[in-house]
Amino acid sequence: MNKHRDPERRNRRIEDYPKRCMFCAKEIPDDEFSREHSPPKCFYEKLLRNDVDLKGLELPAHKNCNNSFSGDNEYVRNILAGVLGAENSSGAKALVNGVIPIFMKNSTPKKLEATYKKVKLRPAYSNSGIFLGNKPSIEVEWSRIERVLFNMIKGIYYKVSMQPMPTNFHLLVLDASVLPSEVVHHDVEQMVHWQSIKGDPEVFRCRYKIQRNNTEAIFLINLFNYFYFWGEALSPEALKKYQNKELFKPSSPKSKILVPYYLAY
Ligand SMILES: [Zn+2]
């Protein structure tokens, strides 16, 4: 059977992929082989893991490449699952009642401060702009969220194209709510329908369009049934083609995003 034409992607197992790293795209010698989960396994609360098809998330990666992101993965999990609005996801709720308080309890004050930056009461608004009162909010490190999302994009790309994304691709991720809705609507319509793994408790799902011989791809990633992130991946040639057209660029620096947080302080 030609695995590249397997219509049932969710049934793929790590043995089906080439022995090449999802992060750096290079070949993996046997003694450096490890299983990376994309999205990261830590996004799924331990007690839920029996119900979730984690094997469906596995991709080949070098041990070293794999380990270099674990801090970012935990950071992003702790931040996003605890944000006001995300608590409607059963997966986020399980994390907030499970591993996140354990992380907080076991952290030094310095480590806590590094994760939950500038905690302060600030006015909070719902997505539709309704004032929710003053809530504890924190400053978020966008660069770490961006790194984790880049890896998620690489994971989707690898699963769909059966080859790791070349490292010279130009990557971009944005909060999807900043994009003009008519543009997003047009592109989203062309994407495949929402994809998730079996048993996913509203932690991760995605839509995407990968085209032109795998040189251009767009993604919509939904985390904890609350956050929508837009992603783009372009080969250097594809990027050149778009250079005269307007590519989406975030209008404001993302390093100082403040999000209302609902964990107890
Ligand atoms: Zn690697």
Cα–ligand 1 centroid distance for 59 (angstroms) = 11
- pLDDT reading at 263 higher than 80: no
The pLDDT assigned to 245 comes to: 62
Cα–ligand 1 centroid distance for 199 (angstroms) = 29
The pLDDT assigned to 185 comes to: 84
Cα–ligand 1 centroid distance for 62 (angstroms) = 4
The percent of residues above 70 in pLDDT, for the chain, comes to 88
pTM above 0.95, yes or no: no
Lowest-confidence region among 20-29, 45-54, 128-137, 167-176 = 128-137
Provide the greatest CA pair distance for the chain.
59
Cα–ligand 1 centroid distance for 38 (angstroms) = 14
3-state SS of 13-54? Answer: CHHHCCCECCCCCCECCHHHEEEEECCCHHHCCHHHCCCCCH
Cα–ligand 1 centroid distance for 54 (angstroms) = 21
The pLDDT assigned to 257 comes to: 58
3-class state of residue 23 by DSSP = coil
Cα–ligand 1 centroid distance for 61 (angstroms) = 6
- pLDDT reading at 22 higher than 50: yes
**In whole angstroms, what is the distance from residue 202 CA to residue 226 CA?**
9
**In whole angstroms, what is the distance from residue 240 CA to residue 211 CA?**
16
CB-CB contact of 23 with 154 (8 Å)? yes
Cα–ligand 1 centroid distance for 75 (angstroms) = 21
Tens digit of pLDDT for each residue in 76-93?
999 999 887 888 899 999
Cα–ligand 1 centroid distance for 165 (angstroms) = 12
Cα–ligand 1 centroid distance for 146 (angstroms) = 19
Cα–ligand 1 centroid distance for 129 (angstroms) = 43
The pLDDT assigned to 261 comes to: 65
- pLDDT reading at 7 higher than 60: no
- Averaged pLDDT, 119-127: 79
- Averaged pLDDT, 119-134: 81
Lowest-confidence region among 7-21, 176-190, 218-232, 241-255 = 241-255
Give me the amino acid identity at 101: P
> Quick one: pLDDT band at residue 4, thresholds 50, 70, 90?
very low
